[in-house]
Amino acid sequence: MATSPATNGNGNGARATGPRCVALVGPFQSGKTTLLEAILARTGAIPRQGGVEAGNTVGDASKEARHHKMSVELTVATTTFMGDAYTFLDSPGSVEFVHDMRAVLPAVDAAVVVCELDEKKIPQLQLILRELEDRKIPRILFVNKIDKGEAGVHDVLKLLQPASRTKLILRQIPTFKGDIISGFVDLALERAFVYKEHAASEIVPLEGDAADLEKTARFSMLETLADHDDELMEQLLEDIQPPRDKVFDDLRSELREGFVCPVLMGTAARANGVLRLLKALRHESPGIADTAKRLGVKAGNDAVAYVLKTLNTAHGGKMSVVRMLAGQAGDGTTFLTEDDEAGRVAGVFKLVGQTTEKRGPAALGETVAFAKLDKAKTGDTLTAGKQAHPALAKIAPYPPVLAIAISAKERKDDVKLGLALAKLVEEDPSITIVHNPETHEVVLWGQGEMHLRVATERLSDRFGVAIERRTPSVGYRETIRKGIVQRGRHKKQSGGHGQYGDVVLDIKPMPRSSGFSFEDKITGGVVPRNYIPSVEEGVIDALKHGPLGFPVVDLHVALVDGSYHTVDSSDMAFRTAGRIGIVEGLPQCQPVLLEPIHLVEIFCPTDATAKINALMSGRRGQILGFDTREGWDGWDVVRAKMPEAEIGDLIVEVRSATAGAGTFTFKFDHMAELTGRTADQIIAARRAAE
């Protein structure tokens, strides 16, 4: 079966052509941004390869990324390789910025998973591979940093296979000069190469030990391929050498079908192994036809595009980075989202990191930035037709796990802060903003410490609002343990009109979560009916701030008696009387602090479960039990009830106990009485803050 190169990527037998879109993903710091740089240099998009340490890469060009020497958002870069356009989406590896990776996945033809031969990074790799497996994204593993000479290089699959549910196939084996890796053998081509720094590898004769190792490794590659190809299986059993084209056809079709995940290797920092990777993408990865089919793009004449990222550029404009999934679109095209108008395109741009270049209309398969689609959001499916296209993918961000309270450093920036926050969330929907009406706090919820730090840096660097940050308040309440009947009298005689209100309140504790109720038990009109609502208002007002400093809940107040004055009584006076009754009564009712307790579920690799249990107990958690995580080999879920105050920075410790892979969810469960030293400290802190 010879391949014919000139098809549109429909058939599995033929190489896809046309523009590609490829995500670079992988665990934290594995070398994705460096690999992008190598690819751009190798394909001539940039004159020479920069480095992350030197701070001169195309990716990570924002001030925040350079400062922290890590990717904190997506970098989009389009280049040309052997006549086809390739857009690479360099995604941050940190779990805190994972939403930028997850949101682009629907748009890509394939992902290159950049990883290291480091056992500690296997759980993170597993998380990423699961996401790709679940979304049926064809993927190639690129084992990077092989210049570090890690022991695992002799048995790459043994180390990496546990992270992948899809069978891995080794496509290359390293060759050595002394202890140092000097090149590789390509098992499909059966050719040996030596690496050249920042240049194409050079073919060398395949001989000696390398030739023997090649035979064994190639056989095991073919065996794996034969699991899905009976003809190949027969050839192997009968010791017939399969034709090279057949091997390539199988590699291509089994990658696209999701039967296998090929493993290549190299050193991004020296551009070693990069050309082979590009060739694998060119010959084996699917193209737009398969991707449109995978997503279920409806056939028709209308342009369809998926928004994979939203940017607010320095010169003030909004840009929607899209992949064209059907038709073409350019300046002036009006788009609909699934449920609204998206706007009209005013400028089409090619992106190479932060460099934008104005260009003509975008053709099928291309990844470009459209300017001024005011209402388009990341994740939207756009269509230029009259009828909206159903959403092709909706990727909800993970629930946030860490919060800070923020405010503008200067009062005059309050409005600016509001606008900046809206832009921040538009670019990064994994940030949530909550206004706490009780404390008047603006609370920024995010995915971790670094995520929130970068968010605040962006507010000042990009949007020009300096802010202050604080630990957000915990939702403490207080209640009473015993009841009392208390008089509240307000009497003032200061010339002219006086003020007179007099009430008797029967205050009683109520069971947890009954809130507050008020009852009118007046007989004989001792408090005229029209003043009673004012008494209730006064009571409610006083309950906002109990004797311990917190809102008071779970009590019943009955108005049982009182008196009035025909001239001096007023709504105001009865309101004050109601308030006085509470303020004077509650301290005698044994007030007690209530703290919110949440139900927490922690997901962690099994080898970290004991550590997590200890961590939870150490934070006043009540462990309810642990289980294996359903559908997740080698993972557990630990359940516990835990005070809100202890959840505050829990994620920081969970991550450190699980090499970054652990996570948790929480939801409010109940309010619990809190006494003793901890309670005293909370009350004292509250007093000090007032």
Footprint of ligand GTP (CB under 6 A):
26, 28-34, 51-53, 70-71, 92-94, 114, 144-145, 147-148, 267-269
C-beta of residue 672 within 8 angstroms of C-beta of residue 598: no
Residue 318 tokens read as 């909004």
Q: Which does 429 bind (CB under 5 to 8 A by kind): ligand GTP, Mg ion, none?
A: none
Closest to Mg ion by CB, 29 or 201: 29
Q: Which of Mg ion, ligand GTP, none does residue 144 bind (CB under 5 to 8 Å by kind)?
A: ligand GTP
| Backbone dihedral angles phi then psi of residue 182, each to the nearest 5 degrees | -115, -10
Q: Which does 568 bind (CB under 5 to 8 A by kind): Mg ion, ligand GTP, none?
A: none
Is residue 584 a contact partner of residue 488, using CB atoms and an 8 Å limit? yes
- The residue among 37 and 478 lying less far from Mg ion, judged by its C-beta, is 37
- What DSSP string runs through 164-209? -SSEEEE-EEEEEETTEEEEEEETTTTEEEEEETTEEEEEE---TH
Closest to ligand GTP by CB, 149 vs 464, is: 149
| Segment near Mg ion (CB under 5 A); pick from 67-75, 265-273, 467-475, 653-661 | 67-75
Closer of 38 and 522 to ligand GTP (Cβ): 38
Cα distance between residue 101 and residue 111, in whole Å: 10
Give all strands (DSSP E) within 481-613, no chain letters: 484-492, 499-509, 516-520, 555-563, 591-605
Q: Is 575 in the site for Mg ion (CB under 5 A)?
A: no
Residue span binding Mg ion (CB under 5 A) among the ranges 70-78, 226-234, 557-565, 682-690: 70-78
Q: Which residue, 21 or 210, has its beta carbon nearer to Mg ion?
A: 21
Strands 199-204 and 191-196: antiparallel
Note whether 503 and 490 are within 8 A (CB): no
Q: Is 71 in the site for Mg ion (CB under 5 A)?
A: yes
> Which segments of 69-153 are extended strands (E)?
75-81, 84-90, 110-115, 139-143
Q: Find the part of the chain contacting Mg ion (CB under 5 A) among 26-34, 115-123, 465-473, 475-483.
A: 26-34
Provide, rounded to whole angstroms, the least separation between the CB of residue 34 and ligand GTP: 3
Q: Two tokens at 425?
A: 């969330």
CB of 114 to ligand GTP, least distance (A): 6
Q: How far is the CB of 92 from ligand GTP (least distance, A)?
A: 5
Report in angstroms how near the CB of residue 40 gets to Mg ion at its nearest: 14
User: Taking contact as CB under 5 A, which single stretch among the options 27-35, 41-49, 563-571, 615-623 is the one that binds Mg ion?
Assistant: 27-35
Contact of residue 53 among ligand GTP, Mg ion, none (CB under 5-8 Å per partner type): ligand GTP
Quick one: 142 or 370, whose CB is closer to ligand GTP?
142
Q: Can you tell me whether residue 429 is helix, strand or coil? A: coil
The option from ligand GTP, Mg ion, none interacting with 267 (CB < 5 to 8 A, set by class) reads: ligand GTP
Residue 145 binds which one of ligand GTP, Mg ion, none, with CB within 5 to 8 A depending on kind?
A: ligand GTP
Look up residue 213 and give its amino acid.
L
- Residue 610 contacts by C-beta under 8 Å, 6 or more apart in sequence? none
| Least distance to ligand GTP, CB of residue 77, Å | 13
Please tell me the distance from the alpha carbon of residue 172 to that of residue 262, in angstroms, as a whole number. 9
Q: Which is nearer to Mg ion, 33 or 78 (CB)?
A: 33
Cα-atom radius of gyration of the chain, to the nearest Å?
32
Beta strand spans in 510-590 (E): 516-520, 555-563
3-state secondary structure of 584: helix
Q: Which of 448, 486, 441 is nearest to 585 (CA)?
A: 486
The residue from 17, 30, 33, 486 that contacts Mg ion (CB under 5 A) is 33
Q: How far is the CB of 8 from Mg ion (least distance, A)?
A: 33
Find the angle CA(282)-CA(283)-CA(287) to the nearest 5 degrees: 65
Task: Report residue 616 CA to chain centroid gap.
Answer: 24
Residue 280, binding choice from Mg ion, ligand GTP, none, Cβ under 5 to 8 Å by partner class? none
Write down the least CB distance from residue 55 to Mg ion, Å. 13
Pick one of 15, 32, 145, 458: the residue that binds Mg ion (CB under 5 A).
32
Question: Which residues here bind Mg ion, judged by CB under 5 A?
Answer: 32-33, 71
